[in-house]
Structure 1
Amino acid sequence: MKIVVIGGSGLIGTKLVNTLSEAGHEVLAASPGTGVNAVTGEGLAEALTDAEVVVDVANSPSFEQKAVLDFFETSGRNLIAAEKIAGVKHHVALSVVGTDRPNANTYFLAKLAQEKLIKESGIPYSILHATQFFEFVGGIAQAGTQGDQIHVSSAKFQPIASDDVVEALADIAVGTPLNGAAEVAGPEKIGLDEIVRQYLSLKNDNREVISDVHAPYFGTEINDQSLVPGDNARIGKQTYSNWIRKPGNLR
């Protein structure tokens, strides 16, 4: 089976390409670095030739409101058009838990627009909603930094190891299209403020973490329901406390 991974050189894409290749599939890592650009359309036709499955894990280089929306809408339209010509049988997309919740931030709304294009394309599809990756905790801390303090919401979320996301994506990619969405999340529910404290402690960073229910999460106020999955989510294996202590994971 030929599988094309759009965004194949990123965090998730690189791991997914390796996982699917090790399972015996013909896998093409597609990214601007390999001459395939979903935003401009460059190289798409050639990359998708004879492909049965396309997995889109590409991410916008900018989270600015207009830029991120343009990225996902433009790349989504170009991919769908190329897939129809190539006869692709299954479109898989990685999205985020919470895109359809009230008060979604601009990034989530851009992902929701991408999902709408996929659902209306007529191509059999599967969408995987994942919670935030463990690798993203440092970014959460950075976003909340105000001088020597870090202001973070105390809202609960259920972060996940990227390896567990890749495992779920690989299973979906070689399976029957869902024509719907599934969720995947980590095994533990924890406050954003709590996990940032763990992260800083392991880095010997003494900055104070201020728990604030009104602290925005990338521009939007959230609550305990904003970032957590539903009851039927697939649950990953790795806990944050175990994952963060593995060599190379604390950055």
Structure 2
Amino acid sequence: MYIVSQAMKPITAEELNLFEEQHNISLPSSYRRWLEQYGEGTYTGWMNIQRPDRDVLAPFVEYDFWIHTEDAPISQRQLQECVSIGSSVDGDFLAVHPQVEGLLWLPRHDEHITVWACEDAEFGELLDRIYCGYYQQDKPLTPHYYEPWNELRHHTFYHVENGEQGDSLYELAQRCKKEFKWDVVVENEHTCMLFMASIGGYLRFNYAYGREVAMFYEETGDSGGGRDHELHLFLIAHHCHPVHIGGVEE
């Protein structure tokens, strides 16, 4: 698995032990190992792995968001006892409950809660299994990468002027792939993502939109001559105009 940034913020075993004691729950061992090694972040662009939180699902007790029949893994009242451990970019929740063996999947666009066995698999493997099962995919997203969250993360969005003034977005991405050395390339009909360890981030060409490029990088206090600045100058030279610069919010 490719780690986008080495500026990770692992969560200590002591903090996780304290949470388990306070809420009388045993967190999945694979989930604990992940947080202790990598900290919070986004896995392969679709799942946000977060520290355990007892308050996230409690508000849903008052709403008939999911079906809670006798066959459902938890009752509506038991939602307030669930501990959220992650959420997908589509708004689905991943949680655990003291009386349920396995991971609870609470979908944003479905009324049925499902349970996924933890077994002894690594946490990334469990997430791959959920992705394939819930989204009905033959294989998980690859290559696997993890984007740890930290206060150094920033972004710049660019609007691309193509047509007679410059390359199409696809042509620009191919030119950029050849111009610089990249650690990992993720490309399909919707997007092209080029990862580089020296910036602690990546460039993302939004093929689906057609005119957007985003650079995610770490602000390290460099005076302006770093590789992220070289990428910025490359994009400017190819008719990409900055439209938003800021920190990355979780």
Same fold (TM over 0.5): no
Q: Please give the range of the TM-score, normalised by the shorter of the 2 chains.
A: under 0.3
Larger radius of gyration: 2
Higher strand share: 2
More helix by share: 1
TM-score where L is the length of structure 2 = 0.24
Give the alignment's TM-score, normalised by structure 1: 0.24
